[in-house]
Structure 1
Amino acid sequence: MGYKLLHRKWRSTRGMYYMMIPELLGTVAALVVTALAQPDLYRTKLWRAGSELGFNSSPSVTLWAYANYEPLPKIPFVWSQTLTDFNVAISVLSLFLLLSKLIAFIMHVWYPILALVINTALLALYATSIGGQAGPDYLDPDHPSPVAWYIAKPCTVAANQKIQGYCKLAKGSFAVSCIMLGIYAINMGMNIWAMLPNPKNDLKDDEDDETSSPATLKQGGNWEMHGIPPTPRTGTLPYTPRTMAFNTLERKLPLRSQYA
């Protein structure tokens, strides 16, 4: 009995289908919140609000650099357009991979080794997204921020109601990313479970190979796409009702003797 690396079966098919439901809901939620944030609904506003509250650097550093003909400073990842585009991209990618997984699972080609690569990549992408949304801001030495203020602090620290609403949206986006990370972590757990040695899984494949072997056929076993085995009276012509009637009447019409 050998270990099958590629053609392995999932331990729980029902569990795989059940996990697709929260994955679909989380993916749709991620698409909504990331689409709302595109291109810059609240990112710069929260950056400026945090600067006014003394929590982080100011977005005006780029204006100062332009005005003084200085090189542009490196924008912290948490306040960059790259992070916003990155979140949208992984949300769209998650939906595409979910649909592909559903089709491949129905067609029995969603193997655990393939899912292992995809789940690992998605875990890395969402971990990067979470790290970026709660990332540090050390651009201003006088106001260092190890964690984004809208994550570390309640939204009520801002007096502006609109800023509080933007803060809640940012918290919601962060929460959705954490949920998606948890979903893919569960998928990874099921993936590892399926990759562990399973005697029943491997034994079933070995039994199929033994049943299909020529030695088994010589012993009277069945082989798919094999000819029909010999049966009694094979080769004799079956008698149809017409043939039996002609043999009984000796090929004579029954009423010819009466009306001749």
Structure 2
Amino acid sequence: MTYKILHRKWLLRKWMWTLMPLELAGLVPLLVLFGIAQPDLYRTKLWEVGHAYGFNSNPKMILYAYANYEPYPKVPFVWTRTLTDFNVAISVITLFLLLTKLVAFIMKFWFPLLAAGINVAMVALYTVSVYGQMGPDHADPRYPSSIAWYIAKSCDYARPFSAYKSCQLAKGTFAVTVYMLALYLANLGIALYVLWPNAGDKVDGDEDDDGRGSSDGSSPVDYAKEGREWEMRDWHAKGGPASPRVGVVPYTPRTQAFHTLDRKLPLRQQYG
């Protein structure tokens, strides 16, 4: 049993082709939602709404720290500009990765080992994004929050502050991010399944992704063999030589050498 680390056959090709359009369907709205959220479309607004109800810390804590000459407070990750920029970055990376994966999969360069490593990285990135969007916020001990209020609660709380649509955008962004995380977990599962030893490792010889041998007529050697076969078929169909340069009986340079040693000139005797 020979285990191939790099060149392994994709056992679930149909699932791979199914996941790609699903990724595109989630990536397009994600690019739009992350893009319009930058730099601060609704982040600070939702922070203020949550503090008004006692759901999270006060967004003015930074101003209070400056006014009282106190150290810069640690802002919860959910309310930082870093999270917003991070989300935009992973959406662009996802777009580039999807295009690269499509081309590499068609060209048969998307190896399972490479796919597993990349999917692990993407799962980690989207996990950070999901964690950042859902909280927690423990900056103020008086108003601790384990999950951001706009995810755990209804957006009706934002209506008095004219932030209802902003709350819906935040909820939708979180939902699409979870959707993309689930897709990359599925991709990772497929890659690990293909990397696991299977019955295909017992088959000797190189096989392509369709389960056929290398002699499928696609290599230069196969084309050369096919050309020689058609040449012989054409010669038999015509029943004789196609030109004076070909004898009735095909001969090789070695045969010509034997005729020369015998002081015979087969072409002159035949066509003379």
Fold match by TM threshold 0.5: yes
- Name the structure 2 match of 1:47: 47
Report the Cα offset of residue 146 of structure 1. Answer: 1.0
Any idea what the Cα deviations from partners look like across 1:115-158, whole Å, max 9, x if unmatched?
00000000011011101100111111111111100011011123
What letter is aligned with 1:116?
A: A
- Secondary structure (helix, strand or coil) at the match of 1:158 reads helix
- Name the structure 2 match of 1:164: 164
Asked whether 1:233 is paired with 2:250, we answer yes
> Which structure 2 residues correspond to residues 239-250 of structure 1 after superposition, within 5 A?
247=271
- Name the structure 2 match of 1:71: 71
Conserved? CA contact 1:9–1:201, under 8 Å:
no
- Name the structure 2 match of 1:175: 175
Asked whether 1:133 is paired with 2:124, we answer no
- Name the structure 1 match of 2:108: 108
What letter is aligned with 1:29?
A: P
- Name the structure 2 match of 1:4: 4
Conserved? CA contact 2:112–2:195, under 8 Å:
yes
Q: Percent identity?
A: 51
Report the Cα offset of residue 160 of structure 1. Answer: 2.5
What letter is aligned with 1:101?
A: K
What letter is aligned with 2:149?
A: W
Any idea what the Cα deviations from partners look like across 1:44-64, whole Å, max 9, x if unmatched?
000011011111111111111
Q: Which whole-Å CA distance do the structure 2 matches of 1:188 and 1:105 have between them?
A: 15
Any idea what the Cα deviations from partners look like across 1:14-43, whole Å, max 9, x if unmatched?
221111000111111111110010000000
Report the Cα offset of residue 67 of structure 1. Answer: 1.1
Any idea what the Cα deviations from partners look like across 1:97-130, whole Å, max 9, x if unmatched?
1111011111101000000000000001101110
Distance 1:201 1:142, change over 3 A: same
Report the Cα offset of residue 207 of structure 1. Answer: 8.1
Conserved? CA contact 2:126–2:181, under 8 Å:
yes
What letter is aligned with 2:146?
A: P
Q: Which whole-Å CA distance do the structure 1 matches of 2:158 and 2:141 have between them?
A: 22
Distance 1:69 1:10, change over 3 A: same
Report the Cα offset of residue 205 of structure 1. Answer: 2.8
Conserved? CA contact 2:2–2:201, under 8 Å:
no
Conserved? CA contact 1:4–1:202, under 8 Å:
no
Q: Which whole-Å CA distance do the structure 2 matches of 1:161 and 1:61 have between them?
A: 20
- Secondary structure (helix, strand or coil) at the match of 2:203 reads helix
Q: Which whole-Å CA distance do the structure 1 matches of 2:35 and 2:197 have between them?
A: 43
Moved more, 116-125 or 8-17: 8-17
TM-score, normalised via structure 2 length = 0.77
- Name the structure 2 match of 1:186: 186
Q: Which whole-Å CA distance do the structure 2 matches of 1:63 and 1:207 have between them?
A: 66
Asked whether 1:93 is paired with 2:93, we answer yes
Report the Cα offset of residue 188 of structure 1. Answer: 1.1
Distance 1:35 1:206, change over 3 A: closer
Conserved? CA contact 2:3–2:201, under 8 Å:
no
Report the Cα offset of residue 225 of structure 1. Answer: 9.8
Please identify runs of 4+ aligned residues in structure 1 that moved more than 6 A: 223-229
> Which structure 2 residues correspond to residues 51-62 of structure 1 after superposition, within 5 A?
51-62=51-62
- Secondary structure (helix, strand or coil) at the match of 1:27 reads helix
- Secondary structure (helix, strand or coil) at the match of 1:50 reads helix
Q: Which whole-Å CA distance do the structure 2 matches of 1:15 and 1:203 have between them?
A: 23
What letter is aligned with 1:30?
A: L
Distance 1:138 1:189, change over 3 A: same
TM-score, normalised via structure 1 length = 0.80
Distance 1:233 1:205, change over 3 A: same
- Name the structure 1 match of 2:155: 155
Conserved? CA contact 1:47–1:79, under 8 Å:
yes
- Secondary structure (helix, strand or coil) at the match of 2:162 reads helix
Report the Cα offset of residue 12 of structure 1. Answer: 2.2
- Name the structure 2 match of 1:81: 81
- Secondary structure (helix, strand or coil) at the match of 2:41 reads coil
